[in-house]
Structure 1
Amino acid sequence: MSLNSELVWFKSSYSSGGGGECIEVAMAWHRSSYSSEEGGECVEVADCPNAVHVRDSKNVARPGLALAPKAWTAFIKFAREV
């Protein structure tokens, strides 16, 4: 993963829609070191205590994938063996 990351803030689902008591949380996204710098196939990952989030950096508005840390570790292990 690249050390360059960008915090992405979003409002918690527990915040009210009236603009009163709002909680925002942030995730630091890291681009895969295997992604090309030309903007081609880019995968970004944000690790949180209970999940590892994966998204396509070319289209961050699309839903990403959230994996349990053990599942992410198993995937990385498998990918390294292929």
Structure 2
Amino acid sequence: MATEFAWKRSSYSGNDGSACVECAGDRGWVLIRDSKDAGGRRLTVSRAGWHAFVLLARS
């Protein structure tokens, strides 16, 4: 049985659903998906990698 994650949508995503990114945590990893294709491919990065990305995006 597949594990279901608690996906969180970006606060910058619009209400129309046209450009939404969702993330979920799983142990030492962060999973990222396109909310328009919830069953599609997922990008998996380490928590450290995600943290570095967020810091860079904020700067």
Give the structure-2-normalised TM-score: 0.91
The 2-side partners of 1:63 and 1:39 are apart by: 18
Aligned-residue offset at 1:38: 0.8
1:59 corresponds to which residue? 37
Higher RCO (Cα < 8 Å, 6 or more apart): 2
Partner amino acid, structure 1, of 2:9? R
The 1-side partners of 2:27 and 2:4 are apart by: 13
Query: 5+ residue gaps in structure 1?
Result: 1-10, 13-24
1:3 corresponds to which residue? none
Aligned-residue offset at 1:50: 1.6
Largest Rg, 1 or 2: 1
Query: 5+ residue gaps in structure 2?
Result: none
2:51 corresponds to which residue? 73
Give the structure-1-normalised TM-score: 0.67
Aligned to 1:58, the other structure's residue is in SS state helix
1:29 corresponds to which residue? 7
The 2-side partners of 1:54 and 1:26 are apart by: 13
Aligned-residue offset at 1:27: 0.8
Question: How many residues get paired?
Answer: 59
After superposition, the CA RMSD in angstroms is 1.0
Higher helix share: 2
